[in-house]
Amino acid sequence: MVSLITGWINHFKHKLTILKRRRFIEGLVQRGLTLGKNVTIMPTAWIDYDYCYLVSIGDNCSLSKGVKIFAHDATVFKFTDGYTRINKVVIKENCFLGENCIILPGVTIGPNVLVAAGSVVNKDIAPNSCVAGNPARFYSKFDDFIASHKVTITEQPCFEFSTLNAGMTDELRKKVQDSVQGGDAYVHGYTGRFPWNFN
């Protein structure tokens, strides 16, 4: 009985988190954030609240957990009698921002850009690029990167997300663990979009 109650409490907390997040993002849009269609903003992604009207995110973009988008830079505040630098951030369509990456003010990204997890973007990122690092640097063309993965998917082990999510058995866990011993494996079917998809 206790586990049933705990389950319901956790379910309610999850639903409340979703509601709070949606309201927060809707509040940013009301304050001037430009948000395209089919944009995914994961929990803990942060968009500069005070200057969100300087931020534009295009269609089909994804912001992973921990992404931070700054439209202001207060590094000179203390030394300039209270001045803070502000600038726009433009993320064009079809961009993916990896977990915990930081986007600094005054940059334009994309379209068709992958920013690797943990990257710091302090300059414009050209269309059709993949970048990584601090500061973020080019490592591949977007189209080449996607094409190479499409080939690799046909050669490497693949698992359905619904199968993995339905119940992980010891046998299935071992199969997945063994599959990555010689390289990558892939999981198909997880979009990561619901319930963090906006517009």
Q: Which residues are catalytic?
A: 72
Residues 6+ apart with CB under 8 A from 150: none
CB 45 within 8 A of CB 62: no
Among candidate residues 36, 43, 168, 176, the one with its CA nearest the CA of residue 111: 36
Omega of the bond leading into 135 within 30 degrees of 0 (cis):
yes
Element (H, E) at 85: strand 85-86
Omega of the bond leading into 127 within 30 degrees of 0 (cis):
no
Please give the DSSP secondary-structure letter assigned to residue 125: B
Q: How far apart are CA 3 and CA 48, in angstroms?
A: 39
